[in-house]
Amino acid sequence: MIVAEWKPLPELLAGLKGYKNLLLVGCATCVAECAAGGEREVNTLAPTLHMALKNQGQDINIITRTLERACEPEFVEELAEIAPQVDAIMSLSCGIGMQLIAERFLDKPLLPGVNTTSLAIREAPGLWTARCRACGDCVLGETFGLCPVARCAKSLMNGPCGGTRKNGRCEVDENTDCIWYLIVERAKARGELESLNQVRQPKTWSNSAHGGPKRIVREDLRS
Amino acid sequence: MSKPPSPGFSPEIVVLYCRQTLDAEAKPPEGTRQGDGFSARLVLLPCSSKIEAYQMLAILDKGADGVQLVACPEKACRFLVGNNRAERRVAHARGLLSQAGMAEARLELNRAAELTPEDLMNLAGRHAGRIKDLGPNPMKGGTN
Amino acid sequence: MSSRVQTNLQKVLAAGHFAVTAEVGPPQGPNPEPVRAKAAILKGLADAYNVTDNQTAVVRMSSIAAAKILLDEGLEPVMQMTCRDRNRIAMQSDLLGASALGLKNVLALSGDHQKASGAGKLNGHPGAKNVYDVDSIQLLGIIKGLRDEARQQGGDAITEPAPFFIGAAWTPLGPPVEFRVPRLAKKIAAGADFVQTQAVFDLKAFAAQVKKAHEAGLTEKVAILAGIIVPRSAGMLTYMNKNVPGIEVPEALIARMKGAKDAKAEGMKVTVELIQAVRELPGVKGVHLQAIEAEELLAEVIPAAGLTPRPLV
Ligand code: SF4
Ligand code: SF4
């Protein structure tokens, strides 16, 4: 899923200065799964913002909505009726949904309520960890299904750096596995440690963000 | 941040309590009751684990002076994880309250068992006593 | 190895001498004097001097500039280059520039993550974006391409080969240990002519890894310089054992340092013993010495180990 996190409250409050009517929008898809922008989080943030602003002497009316999928125009359309009543929209959807909302309601300032941070899984209750960075040149077939781009702090392609800790964790964070440690473990278990001996040449990054904004065309699907 | 005590301030406390905390014989009380120098609205929860941070925040945002969650003693929860979860949610909500410039103490978790309705009122009264020092909820008389 | 390059380090190794390298950290400022001061202390003690590239991700004078200052002082530098801060375009450009300045030994590293820069007393730049366009093994391949094929990574030709003596780092005792010899083989396959190892304290474990490399025929293809850090106290050893990945310090050694009346003198003795011990290992062709923030110790310990004067080749 796409994972996002609330922006720090002071940043949110600073962005709300001067507004009287706010539409706070969530999305029931990825950001609900990662507990950043689903209905529950919308309902949590609304009173929090309201109390905080009131304590700063600002009275604001917050209307809440949670869309099924903020990244699909037909769902965003559900805001058409309410949008004219507010002077700004704050979205807790991922950056994709936010842009669709901004595009649909061009006259309303769009305030991001979250930072979109990663493509991750829920590893355990209350714990999300990165799995993919949409690099555009997937190597999972060579790394036993473990992604070194997203899960190695240095995106190394040829094995572990010298920083792997004694317990197999990454030098950068004692709570994160060194992914190359795990890749080697898995290769061993499969009896294929030798497959990692081949030198992997520099990757082609241009099929992702590094090639400029991504644009995919499928002629068979064009209307 | 304690304000000077407001004369005649009678705190409104919302008591969210778990059925399991009551004496099995007791009939779960509900609705608003008048205490000595405070009032308490008693709300029965099926289990304290069902309470969400936003519900507690919303009650305070709407102007209640204090919220008290009454959960069963640790390890006594019928759903095992229930009251632990309640603890974490209260901690989360308190964190948000303080970021919003609200006194965290307005929200409190209590653990108890075999309570009578009177015991519940006594707990509310104790909470009200502490809240008297804080003064009325600054949210009172807001726009929504 | 290309016949075109003949750095001092390369010649010392080719002549079969036991090589010595040492480390020089550039200053956190624009003044060349601290580099010259270190050069004055270290001159004549080693065959070549590593110049670190923003070590621990802390901003320092660039390794290229500091290496050039050393060169002007008559010391042969080994310019370190990490993969953290440059993409393949900047790397190759800097390599050509370094070569033009006469810097011919280069050592490729992954580099410390930028998070490390803020871990100590400094603010550092933990908010920086890292690059890691290529990793250290791919960088070795790039340097080799510039040297042996006069080609850039993208395939375009450069005007003439860029002569480099190519180095890499090796952490023989880092987990997963069973992959460390294969990883050395990868570095050699990619282009490494010499490697400097993570600091050795556990001789037995180190010898076992070197033996594996030796038996795999790797020590014929690459010169291994064993890393040696001069220990200054038991506390320092305990710290490194616990916190520095790839460093294993035997309990007995920590106890020995603890029991010593004069920790500094004992540290010198330990260093000399370590040097003599690694020298016995087939496949070890030299030592890479570090005295973190205490270069003057090297001026004592290198002669004490019988490693001076350095050969003139
Ligand atoms: S290799 Fe690339 S595409 Fe594959 S999982 Fe990793 S980041 Fe995603
Ligand atoms: S310790 Fe492992 S995961 Fe961390 S940077 Fe090094 S190789 Fe990558």
The neighbouring-strand residues paired with C194 are C167, C223
pLDDT at C106 over 70: yes
Atom of ligand 2 nearest to the CA of A177: 3
Q: Encoding tokens for residue C36?
A: 């010259």
User: Is residue B81 very low, low, confident or very high in pLDDT (cuts 50, 70, 90)?
Assistant: low
Three-class SS of residue B99? Answer: helix
Best of B98, B99, B106 to mutate (most A CBs within 10 Å, chain A): B99
**Given the DSSP bridges, would you call strands C284-290 and A110-112 parallel, antiparallel or unpaired?**
unpaired
Q: How many other CB atoms are found less than 10 A from the CB of residue A68?
A: 12
Q: Ligand 1 in contact with A209 (CB < 6 A)?
A: no
Q: Mean pLDDT, to the nearest integer, of B66-93?
A: 80
Q: Ligand 1 in contact with A139 (CB < 6 A)?
A: yes
Sheet holding A2-6, edge to edge: A2-6, A114-124, A127-132
pLDDT at B95 over 60: yes
Q: Is 3.20.20.220 the CATH number for C8-304?
A: yes
Asked if C208 and C224 count as a contact pair (C-beta separation under 8 A), the reply is no
The neighbouring-strand residues paired with C23 are C50
Domains for chain A: give ranges and CATH numbers.
2-118 (3.40.50.2300), 135-201 (no CATH)
Residue B1, pLDDT score: 46
Q: How far is C65 from chain A (nearest CA, A)?
A: 25
d(CA C258, CA A45): 56
d(CA B32, CA B23): 20
**Predicted TM-score (pTM) of this structure:** 0.94
pLDDT at B143 over 60: no
Return the residue whose CA atom lies nearest to atom 5 of ligand 1: A132
Quick check: bond before C27 cis, omega within 30? Answer: no
Within chain C, strands assigned E span 19-24, 48-51, 77-82, 105-109, 165-170, 194-199, 223-229, 284-290
Residue C5, pLDDT score: 59
A-chain residue closest to B100, CA distance: A52
| Touching pair C, A by Cβ (3+ pairs < 8 Å) | yes
A-chain residue closest to C188, CA distance: A199
Q: Encoding tokens for residue C184?
A: 């050395």
Q: How many other CB atoms are found less than 10 A from the CB of residue A107?
A: 7
Smallest-distance ligand from the CA of A210: 1
| Ligand 2 centroid – CA C132 distance (Å) | 12
Q: Using one digit for the tens of pLDDT, what is the confidence trace for A166-182? A: 999 999 999 999 999 99
| Ligand 2 centroid – CA C213 distance (Å) | 23
pLDDT at C95 over 50: yes
Length of chain C: 313
> C-alpha dihedral over C198, C201, C205, C209, to 10 degrees?
30
List pocket residues of ligand 2, CB cut-off 6 Å.
A 152-154, 156, 160-161, 163-164, 170-172, 178-180
d(CA A179, CA A168): 9
For residue A165, the chain C residues in CB contact (below 8 A) are 175, 245
Residue B26, pLDDT score: 85
* C299, containing H or E segment: helix C296-304
d(CA C107, CA A182): 27
Asked if C163 and C189 count as a contact pair (C-beta separation under 8 A), the reply is no
Q: Using one digit for the tens of pLDDT, what is the confidence trace for C162-175? A: 999 999 999 999 99
pLDDT at C3 over 80: no
Residue B73, pLDDT score: 80
For residue C178, the chain A residues in CB contact (below 8 A) are 184, 188, 193
Best of A12, A20, A48 to mutate (most B CBs within 10 Å, chain B): A48
Residue B144, pLDDT score: 43
User: Is residue B80 very low, low, confident or very high in pLDDT (cuts 50, 70, 90)?
Assistant: low
| Ligand 2 centroid – CA A176 distance (Å) | 9
Could you write out the three-class secondary structure of A45-90? HHHHHHHHHHHCCCCCEEEEEEECCCCCHHHHHHHCCCHHHCCEEE
C-chain residue closest to A135, CA distance: C133
d(CA B85, CA B67): 17
| Ligand 2 centroid – CA C284 distance (Å) | 27
Q: Encoding tokens for residue C303?
A: 């002669």
Percent of chain A with pLDDT strictly greater than 70 = 100
Interchain CB distance below 8 Å, C88 and A202: yes
Q: Where are the domains of chain C?
A: 8-304
Q: Using one digit for the tens of pLDDT, what is the confidence trace for A124-153? A: 999 999 999 999 999 999 999 999 999 999
Asked if A75 and A93 count as a contact pair (C-beta separation under 8 A), the reply is no
User: Is residue B8 very low, low, confident or very high in pLDDT (cuts 50, 70, 90)?
Assistant: confident
ipTM (interface pTM): 0.95
d(CA C113, CA C126): 9
Give me the half-sphere count of Cα atoms (radius 13 Å) on the Cβ side of residue C281.
Answer: 28
Q: Mean pLDDT, to the nearest integer, of B65-70?
A: 96
Chain centroid to CA C229: 12
Q: Mean pLDDT, to the nearest integer, of B119-127?
A: 95
| Ligand 2 centroid – CA A151 distance (Å) | 8
What value does the mean pLDDT of chain A take? 97
Distances in whole angstroms, Cα of residue A52 to Cα of each of A9, A60, B56, B97, C114: 9, 10, 15, 8, 35
Residue type for C263, please?
A
Between helix C63-72 and helix C33-42 the angle, nearest 10°, is 50
Asked if B19 and B28 count as a contact pair (C-beta separation under 8 A), the reply is yes
